[in-house]
């Protein structure tokens, strides 16, 4: 079995070995997302690029809600694995799959029913309203596959195997890109095809995870799906808070998108492009945070809080190293990257707006690096409320200052608003951590 016991061995070695596949997986997925946007913008048009950008925050609310529920359950499974309680680990996975199936089917039905009214509420321009609604409805149909993949991949990650989900993510992303290039680039199909290939890729990922577990990971082998009421309560206690926290960000983006939508299709297209680039900073930082979470949860289950503290400090070092890399890359390459997303008469406007945003935002990436590291620690300790409160503070201020600053500074105002939100988040999290150290570490606190 390809599990990893993070309660033993080199702390930095464990964190790096776990984080690197997560970061690579994140970068691979983000590369696909960027290619998807490039294909939509260059082969279908600026309207398609704008439509996928407007659809993104809506679908991310549900997708991140599903992943948040899985992450909360992953903390529980990691603790059981660290404590060597494999029976409870199996029951927790079964409960997660059952609850996730019910949630994803209900969410898909509601999403399909209310897509059009929601997009009208968000000020989506009339010229791309129908295109955006059609794209979203197909994505909603694929939510059960997304849920199944997230549950199984999180189970593998909870026992220290972050490499296998990367392989399956890579395979499905390559398949997705190939299908997009053939069906959209060569054959000229529209935006609906882009959504269909995304759903197909999620289904392939879920099937590959299931097959691998059945063949190679008997500890996680599924013997049936049964919901344990006691574990369901614990899962919802952890997972619902994490899901709410995960959903806070796309809700904030949804509100920000409504402000951006008033600036015209060209700026909307630029914002969609730069958020793809932003994700190359934020998502790997989150992956390092997840490494801190799993490390902390396993060692908490084993009762070694001194090792938890040392792992947290080294995890923050990894976050700082990644910030230095991504900040330098964005500053050096933003003028070369932006033209990849668009072509046509309005391309120069889109590129100029995007570069203006990125030249400012690159310096602020250090802030989410630190907040993700701290949140990873608190999740590993099972203290989910701290992460929810701090995320709510950050999102609320980010939205408020976006509406205040965008009229004056344009797209650059969004970067300033993000920095204000992250700074407030740190002002909450750092004092909370310092206040809670003795309670969290107990006798291990020196």
What residue numbers bound the domain in which 124 lies? 11-435
What is the per-residue burial (b if ≥16 Cβ within 10 Å, else e) of 414-438? bbbbbbbbbebbbebbeebbeeeee
**Alpha carbon distance 430, 218 (integer Å):** 41
Q: Is residue 81 part of a domain?
A: yes
Q: Tokens 């964005």, residue? A: 330
Contacts of 438-441 with C-beta under 8 Å, sequence gap 24+, read 440/305, 440/381, 440/383, 441/305, 441/306, 441/308, 441/309
What residues contact residue 163 under an 8 Å CB cut-off, 6+ apart? 2, 21
* pLDDT given at position 57: 67
Neighbours of 58 (CB within 10 A): 26
User: Mean of the pLDDT values across residues 58-66?
Assistant: 73
pLDDT digits (tens, 9 = 90+) for 241-264: 777 766 666 677 777 777 777 777
Give percent of the chain above pLDDT 70: 86
Range with the lowest mean pLDDT among 134-143, 198-207, 246-255? 246-255
* pLDDT given at position 348: 77
Neighbours of 263 (CB within 10 A): 16
Q: Is residue 5 part of a domain?
A: no
Quick one: tokens of 333?
């390459």
Whether residue 76 has pLDDT greater than 70: yes
Quick one: tokens of 314?
């080294």
Whether residue 15 has pLDDT greater than 80: yes
Q: What is the mean pLDDT of the chain?
A: 81
Geometric angle at alpha carbon 150, from 63 and 324, rounded to 5°:
80
* pLDDT given at position 431: 92
User: Mean of the pLDDT values across residues 329-339?
Assistant: 86
Neighbours of 100 (CB within 10 A): 24
Range with the lowest mean pLDDT among 24-33, 251-260, 263-272? 24-33
Q: Tokens 């996928």, residue? A: 52
Quick one: tokens of 249?
């960000």
- Residue 357: Cβ-neighbour burial (10 angstroms; 0-12, 13-18, 19+): buried
Q: Is residue 441 part of a domain?
A: no
Query: Which is more confident, 108 or 54?
Result: 108
pLDDT digits (tens, 9 = 90+) for 170-188: 888 788 778 877 777 666 6
**Alpha carbon distance 250, 63 (integer Å):** 10
Whether residue 196 has pLDDT greater than 60: yes
Whether residue 224 has pLDDT greater than 50: yes
Number of separate domains in the chain: 1
User: Mean of the pLDDT values across residues 60-79?
Assistant: 79
Q: Is residue 344 part of a domain?
A: yes
Q: Is residue 234 part of a domain?
A: yes
Residue 225 phi/psi, 5-degree rounding, is -105, 115
* pLDDT given at position 344: 60
Quick one: tokens of 166?
């990367």
Q: CB of 265 within 8 A of CB of 128?
A: yes
pLDDT tier, 374 (very low <50, low <70, confident <90, very high otherwise): very high
Q: Is residue 362 part of a domain?
A: yes
Per DSSP, 8 falls in state S
**Alpha carbon distance 387, 389 (integer Å):** 6
Whether residue 1 has pLDDT greater than 50: no
Q: Is residue 445 part of a domain?
A: no
pTM above 0.75, yes or no: no
pLDDT digits (tens, 9 = 90+) for 387-438: 888 888 998 999 999 889 988 888 888 899 999 999 999 999 999 998 887 7
Q: Is residue 30 part of a domain?
A: yes
**Radius of gyration of the chain from its Cα atoms, rounded to whole angstroms:** 21
**Alpha carbon distance 135, 190 (integer Å):** 10
* pLDDT given at position 446: 39
Query: Which is more confident, 353 or 332?
Result: 332
């Amino acid at each position: 079995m390809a599990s990893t016991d993070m309660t033993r061995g080199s702390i930095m070695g464990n964190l790096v070995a776990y984080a690197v596949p997560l970061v690579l997986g994140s970068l691979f997925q983000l590369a696909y997302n960027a290619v998807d946007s490039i294909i939509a913008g260059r082969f279908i048009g600026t309207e398609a690029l704008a439509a996928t950008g407007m659809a993104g925050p809506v679908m991310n609310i549900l997708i991140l809600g599903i992943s948040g529920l899985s992450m909360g359950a992953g903390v529980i499974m990691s603790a059981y694995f660290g404590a060597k309680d494999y029976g409870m680990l199996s029951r927790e996975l079964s409960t997660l799959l059952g609850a996730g199936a019910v949630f994803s089917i209900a969410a898909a039905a509601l999403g399909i029913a209310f897509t059009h009214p929601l997009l009208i509420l968000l000020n989506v321009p009339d010229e791309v309203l129908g295109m955006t609604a059609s794209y979203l409805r197909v994505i909603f149909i694929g939510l059960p596959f997304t849920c199944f993949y997230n549950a199984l991949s999180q189970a593998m990650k909870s026992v220290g195997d972050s490499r296998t989900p990367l392989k399956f993510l890579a395979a499905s992303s390559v398949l997705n890109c190939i299908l997009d290039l053939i069906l959209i680039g060569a054959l000229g199909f529209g935006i609906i095809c882009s959504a269909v290939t995304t759903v197909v890729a999620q289904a392939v990922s879920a099937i590959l995870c299931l097959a691998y577990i059945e063949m190679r990971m008997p500890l996680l082998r599924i013997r049936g799906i049964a919901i344990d009421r006691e574990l369901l309560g614990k899962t919802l206690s952890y997972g619902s808070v994490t899901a709410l926290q995960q959903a806070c960000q796309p809700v904030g983006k949804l509100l920000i998108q409504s402000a951006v939508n008033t600036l015209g299709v060209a700026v909307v297209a630029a914002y969609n492009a730069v958020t793809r680039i932003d994700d190359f900073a934020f998502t790997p930082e989150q992956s390092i945070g997840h490494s801190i979470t799993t490390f902390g949860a396993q060692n908490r289950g084993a009762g070694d809080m001194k090792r938890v503290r040392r792992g947290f400090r080294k995890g923050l070092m990894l976050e700082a190293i990644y910030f230095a890399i991504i900040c330098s890359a964005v500053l050096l390459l933003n003028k070369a990257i932006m033209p990849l997303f668009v072509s046509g008469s309005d391309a120069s406007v889109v590129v100029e707006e995007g570069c203006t945003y990125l030249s400012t935002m690159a310096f602020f990436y250090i802030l989410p690096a630190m907040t993700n590291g701290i949140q990873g620690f608190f999740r590993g300790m099972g203290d989910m409320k701290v992460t929810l409160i701090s995320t709510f503070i950050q999102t609320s201020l980010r939205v408020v200052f976006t509406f205040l600053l965008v009229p004056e500074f344009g797209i650059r105002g969004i970067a300033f608003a993000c920095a204000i939100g992250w700074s407030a988040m740190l002002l909450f999290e750092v004092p909370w951590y310092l206040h809670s150290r003795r309670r969290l570490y107990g006798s291990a606190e020196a």
